[in-house]
Amino acid sequence: MDNEKITRRGLLSGAGQAALGLGMMGAAGLTPVYGAQNGRAAHDYGVNFGEEAFLPKRVSAQEKVNIALIGCGGQGMSNLNTFIARPDVNVVAVCDPDSKHMGKAAITVEDKTDKAPEQIKDFRKLLERKDIDLVINATPDHWHALIAISAFQAGKDIFTEKPISHDILEGRQMVNHANKLKRVVQVGTWQRSLQQFLDATAYVRSGKLGKINLCRAWKVQDPNAAVMGKQTTKPVPSELDYDLWVGPAAMVPYQDNRCHYKFRWYFNFAGGMTGDWGVHMIDTVLQGMNATDDFVMPTKVMSLGGKFFTGADDDRTTPDTQIALIEFPGWMLQWEVHVGNTKTGPNGLAGSGVTGRDHGALFIGSQGSVLVDRSGWSIFDAAGNPVEKPAPIDMGQKMSGLPAHVAELIASTKSRGTTRANIASMHKTTTVCHLANLAYQAQNVLHWDAAKEIVTNDPKAMKNLSYQREYRKGWTLPKA
């Protein structure tokens, strides 16, 4: 998200006009810019877009949306800065059990808007404010469901970080509550609004690759981010309400290496790299392999892995190396996580054009293949040769990344329309990720009944954390 902004002056220059195409985003009434260089084998868009291209031209006071940020860590601040750049948004409150994080967010809001937001440690108090229209839910994964459902019950729309849930049963309840209470939800999988992913998945859906019976998706983790090391229990920092931070999860003694950003490498709080990046890359595969975003779900899942890089002398509980084989009707997906050098060398999976990419989604068809990641997309023929001039893709709306994702959400809160990364579709993607982790936890090939959302061949598997959890005393998952 450290994109360099394109200034209005740069766009109006002759060079800027020559380099960029202009498209209309009708739903939001905006004019985004995009770099759709379709005549090359490797479709590297080569232009980073900031918020400015997606901002409304005029906003009345009545059109402004009052928002609040819940979760003021790194991801929360990234989201906040995108929202705060919009003239149609007022940030009225920030919330975090860590007063330092909350204070930093408040200072950011005041510096950029000259208005100090209210600082509220407990999200339940924040949701009592009647003037809040929308909340950003950028909390750790184990908090996503409870805060989202509480927001729905309080009449708020929501931008919620991915994965939407800590486990499958939480995700189902999020969908049920959002539908029942008619809330607008945008999930933070902003690849759904990034141009090369729109183009690549549309090309796959066109059928030009022939029969696709195998897809691959992967993420290589930075070795520095993978290692948690061994730590002993420490006193809780004075600025952190640790009891509130743990919330519905099982209480474990405080350690620096399993709090804040590092929580994601512990099954008690998150789903490891499969929950973190799998929701992005597996989602791309599902979009390409389905005619709509109402995805056909898998029938069987198996997954192996372990702490092969970090070893036993490390506190993390999620695998640093994991391969999941996921069987759908008529095709399979291979999902891979491993630790490696993410800057140079053959980091990706072996296959057409994959070498050197630390993440990606690869569609392998009888007539060719498509590879897409955040740098662009490529088409190859059946022999693995680059295709120089693919047929142009007419997607109508041309969008790019988080700014477009937020723009569509704001428009949808007013139209009450369905968002690009809506809760029902993203529950399906997230469930596939949870199933990969569930098969790893159960150490079994799991048979999945998508209609009932149950494992049919191993009922004991559903006692694992990726399917459900027992909430800590004082917390309850609402049912709808």
* Beta-bridge mates of residue 324: 303, 335
In a shared domain, residues 104 and 204: no
In a shared domain, residues 355 and 409: no
Is the confidence at residue 213, as pLDDT, over 60?
Answer: yes
**Distance in angstroms (rounded) separating the CA atoms of residues 171 and 188:** 15
In a shared domain, residues 410 and 356: no
Place of tokens 């049920």: 176
In a shared domain, residues 203 and 103: no
In a shared domain, residues 246 and 150: no
Task: Read off the pLDDT band of 385 (50, 70, 90).
Answer: confident
Q: Is residue 233 part of a domain?
A: yes
In a shared domain, residues 413 and 364: no
**CA-based torsion, 350, 356, 362, 368: positive or negative:** negative
State residue 389's pLDDT score. 55
pLDDT digits (tens, 9 = 90+) for 400-418: 689 999 999 999 999 999 9
CATH code at 206? Answer: 3.30.360.10
In a shared domain, residues 219 and 235: yes
Q: Is residue 35 part of a domain?
A: no
In a shared domain, residues 216 and 350: yes
State residue 340's pLDDT score. 87
In a shared domain, residues 254 and 337: yes
Q: Is residue 472 part of a domain?
A: no
* pTM for the structure as a whole: 0.88
State residue 35's pLDDT score. 32
State residue 346's pLDDT score. 54
Q: Is residue 265 part of a domain?
A: yes
> Among 101-115, 152-166, 338-352, where is mean pLDDT lowest?
338-352
Is the confidence at residue 343, as pLDDT, over 70?
Answer: no
In a shared domain, residues 170 and 265: no
Whole-Å CA distances, 393 to 38, 189, 204, 398: 8, 22, 11, 11
State residue 413's pLDDT score. 96
Whole-Å CA distances, 361 to 48, 141, 281, 415: 21, 24, 6, 33
Q: Is residue 309 part of a domain?
A: yes
Task: Read off the pLDDT band of 349 (50, 70, 90).
Answer: low
Task: Tell me which residue range forms the domain holding 412.
Answer: 53-191+401-423
If you average pLDDT over every residue of the chain, what do you get? 87
In a shared domain, residues 233 and 141: no
State residue 53's pLDDT score. 59
CATH code at 90? Answer: 3.40.50.720
Q: Is residue 160 part of a domain?
A: yes
Q: What is the mean pLDDT of residues 168-176?
A: 98
State residue 357's pLDDT score. 76
Residue 421 phi, psi dihedral angles, 5° rounding: -110, 65
Of 220 and 13, which is predicted with more confidence? Answer: 220
Do 186 and 421 contact (CB within 8 A), yes or no?
Answer: yes
Q: Is residue 335 part of a domain?
A: yes
- What total of structural domains would you count in the chain? 2
In a shared domain, residues 289 and 374: yes
Q: What is the mean pLDDT of residues 155-176?
A: 98
Q: Is residue 204 part of a domain?
A: yes
